[in-house]
Structure 1
Amino acid sequence: MTALAPAGIRSHHGSLIIPAGAVHTTPLGYDRDSVPVGAPLPLAASAELVHRLSGCGEIVVAFEGKLGDTLLALSGVRAVLDWMRLRSVRVAVRAVGPYAGLIARTGLITQPQASAPSGWRAVIGDRTGVEAHGSETAVSLVLDPAAPPCWSSDGRTHPDLPARHYLALERRLGIRLPGTAPFAPTLATGPNNLVEELRSVGWLGGLTIAAITATSWPERKDYTAQRFIALAEHIAEAQQAQARLLLIGGNAEDGFRVSAEAPRRHVQVLHLDGVPAEQLADLFPHCDLVVGNDTGLTHLAAMTRSPERHVIGLYARHSHSKWRTGLPHHHAVATDLADRMHQGDLCPVRDAIPSDVDVHMDAFPPAELARVCLDLLNGVRP
């Protein structure tokens, strides 16, 4: 269920199934559960798209834009590759651009071939990536976060972007693909020097909380270090434990920077600024809880963690259901405005919807947010 916090903010559990009648949706056009995997859909496929993809020997995955948009769009790449496997189309897959290393962790990328691939080349990515790498290709697929609607099928909605991208391509390709919710791929993780160094000096022992302050829109989405510290204090006091808080910041002026604050009563604070996303992907699984704004690193945390370790995104203005991975351990705490954006499948920026009040991250009082965190840490589902 969805819980209403005393401050008027709502928490939304990641495994919540939203019925089709509760929000504005677009019917998928078929009862997905009743169509066998590999069977034709009762909708016409895009004949030209099917023809060109069938002749492809290489797919280039090219994303150059925002990290969050990229991660939430990888289900679209997965949909195309699922279709090719069902059609027995052999294809080489490689990633280019700033996120190539992260994309390789999804298992979507095949090993390089000794000889050049035969057949046409396709490019899948965001608009900037396709424009940069889409010359001399048979087909380019732009995975635009504004394009796919909130689908509904079998009496339920599919509001998260990974589901939207996957199902949009399933409809265009014309056959029932094997993917089921959650549609977002997860990323493999492993040891790295940063994790080992933090562990060696005791920063990953006991109650460890990661808080993400990095954002491309700080005036709207920065919860601030001080609020996160207050949040950690509330959690640690309730747990009667000493908490270690890792504050994940954006790019530092002088590159990668680590600095510790003087210990507080219940919390030790470590600032990690400018850490590459690939290193953070290996760090997040070692944290008991990750809390962040609606940004790419929060999505990354969800896609690199186990279901037993929770991630909470804070949504002040944008839909809390669309801008999530759809993974059951990726939860949301949202304002009434974000809940209305969810219900109407709206975007305050795209649809130019001004708010009655200027909603910022101070809508989430640390004490009330701590209650949501404590319920998750203690295994209490709202």
Structure 2
Amino acid sequence: MTTVASAGVRFHSGSQAIPAAAVHTTPLGYDRDDIPVGTPLPVPASAALVDRLSGCGEIEVAFEGKLGDTLLALSTVRALLDWLRLRSIPVAVRPVGPYAALMARSGLVTRTPATALSGRRAVIGDRAGVEARASESVVGLVCDPGAPPCWSSDGCAHPDLPSRNYLALERRLGIRLPGTAPFAPLFPTVPSELVEEVHAMGWLNGLTIAAIAATSWPERKDYTAQRYIELAELIAERWQSQARLLLIGGGTDSSGIRITTEIPRRHVQILRLDGVPADHLASLFPRCQLVVGNDTGLTHLAAMARGRDGAGPPVVGLYARHSHSKWRTGLPHHHAVATDLSDRMHQGDLCPVRDAIAPNTDIHMNAFPPAALAQVCLDLLNGVSA
């Protein structure tokens, strides 16, 4: 479902299927629905890659870069493990680096098998992670978010990065893998003392909205705390309820966790959480009723985080310049509110940075008026736009 949120801004539902004819795509080369799982593909595999991976007894998952790029690349790890299981190759999977604890929750990490095939190691991760371990591995798989195109198969486009990454490796391995969309792994909640402390303070009762204020590009992607507060005020007023707003910030200068309260507004109480590690936030987000954020790693994490019952809140990402379909998880509850420029990047499979595309106007996060965004959020809370 695509609806107009305000002038030049549209809402795009996460459950919306995108026809291949509507966007610029690269044909996958086969219709997945017509090929049984485990069957060779009608496109040639990378023989050298298959040969090297077949002799590995350990997979090291090494991401050193941005959280968002890491999360959207984990479907590549899923594809590799699906392939190894189809071939009955026993391996141990070991996450390393700053996101090791978080990745251990994804279900992708396995215990060391009783008898490993060999001591040879493959490394999969971003360029920094793979290059740092090149001397210790026989094969490296670099996950580059700029590499895989928007694939099309069975009449549908697969624009989100988890789909792009999974299908790209499937083609290279030359065999129909068992995965189906959405390809992004999930992070089930685990006990968190910090989350329980926040709950004991009364902050997770009633209408709780999490707003992602952290960003790696504040000049372009900072919606600002003031706009989030105005948004929460409008939602609470129309919802006829008090709201609790959790402003999720990034790291502080002291590199520690900082939790502070702000002066309450008429309808909203405000709690700032800065420097909270991602693994704690993955247990916090499912306790909220709504998450709103810019195109950043913590917003993607909110979509991938699920409660013990597998449920979680709707997540709304704000996209001013980059493609709203590529930089999403592909999960049905991960929605987008996007500008016309973002929609053009989506349609043409373009990137304003990579392709040096200058917008006609200097588009920033003020393209999303809180009043229009509040209506989108209210529709989601009421189950209208999902």
Superposition TM-score, scaled by structure 1 size: 0.98
Displacement of 1:116 in angstroms is 7.7
One-letter identity of the residue aligned with 2:25: T
Match of 2:280 in 1: 279
Unaligned runs of 5+ in 2: none
The residue number in structure 1 matching 2:249 is: 249
* Amino acid across the alignment from 1:317: R
- Paired position in structure 1 for 2:48: 48
Identity %: 75
Aligned pair 1:346/2:350, yes or no?
A: yes
Q: Give the conservation status (yes or no) of the 8 Å contact 2:305–2:312.
A: no
Instruction: Give the total of aligned pairs.
Output: 382
1:7 Cα deviation from its structure 2 partner: 2.9
* Structure 1 contact 307–329 (Cα < 8 Å) conserved: no
**Aligned residue for 1:64?**
64
TM-superposed CA distance for 1:132, in Å, is 1.0
Alpha-carbon contact 2:187-2:305 (below 8 Å) kept: yes
Residues 7, 368 of structure 1: 8 Å contact kept: no
8 Å contact kept, 2:92–2:116: no
Provide the C-alpha distance between the structure 2 equivalents of 1:56 and 1:90, rounded to a whole number of angstroms: 9
Distance in 1 between the 2:169 and 2:114 partners? Answer: 30
Partner of 1:80: 80
The residue that corresponds to 1:360 in the other structure is 364
Q: Is the 8 A contact 1:212 1:297 kept in 2?
A: yes
Q: Tell me the CA shift for residue 347 of structure 1.
A: 0.3
Distance 1:362 1:267, change over 3 A: same
Contact 2:63 2:128 in 1 (8 A): yes
Structure-2 separation of matches of 1:109 and 1:5? 41
Structure-to-structure mapping, 1:176-255, within 5 angstroms: 176-254=176-254, 255=256
Give the 3-state SS of the residue equivalent to 1:290 in structure 2.
Answer: strand
Amino acid at match of 1:263: P
1:112 shift after superposition: 4.2
Secondary structure of 2:61's partner? strand
Following superposition, the deviation at residue 201 of structure 1 comes to: 1.4
Match of 1:335 in 2: 339
Instruction: Give the Å deviation of 1:165.
Output: 0.3
- DSSP-derived class of the 1:108 partner: coil
1:315 matches 2:333? no
Q: How big is the shift at 1:62? A: 0.4
**2:330 equivalent in structure 1:** 326
The residue number in structure 2 matching 1:129 is 129
* 71-80 or 302-311, larger mean C-alpha shift: 302-311
Say whether the 8 Å CA contact 2:91–2:112 is kept in structure 1: no
Structure 1 partner of 2:146: 146
Q: Indicate conservation of the 8 Å contact 2:90/2:115, yes or no.
A: no
Paired AA for residue 140 in structure 1 = G
Between 86-95 and 190-199, report the one with greater CA deviation.
190-199
Deviates more, 1:302-311 or 1:337-346: 302-311
TM-score (norm 2): 0.97
Cα distance between partner residues in 2 of 1:229 and 1:263 = 10
Identify if the C-alpha distance between structure 1 residues 121 and 308 changes in structure 2 by more than 3 Å, giving closer, same or farther: closer
Show the counterpart of 2:304: 303
Aligned residue type for 1:27: P
Counterparts of 1:102 and 1:288, CA distance in 2: 22
Shift of 1:223: 0.3
The amino acid across from 2:340 in the alignment is: D
Mapped to 2, the partners of 1:191 and 1:239 lie a distance apart of 31
Q: Gaps (5+ residues) in structure 1?
A: none
Answer yes or no: is 1:13 the counterpart of 2:17: no
Asked if 1 retains the 8 angstrom alpha-carbon contact of 2:285 and 2:312, the reply is no
- Mapped contact 2:12–2:337 kept (Cα < 8 A): yes
Secondary structure, aligned partner of 1:56: coil
The structural deviation recorded for 1:111 is 2.1
**Structure 2 Cα separation of the partners of residues 11 and 269 of structure 1:** 26
Aligned residue in 2 for 1:267 = 268
Does the CA-based 8 Å contact 1:7-1:365 persist in structure 2? no
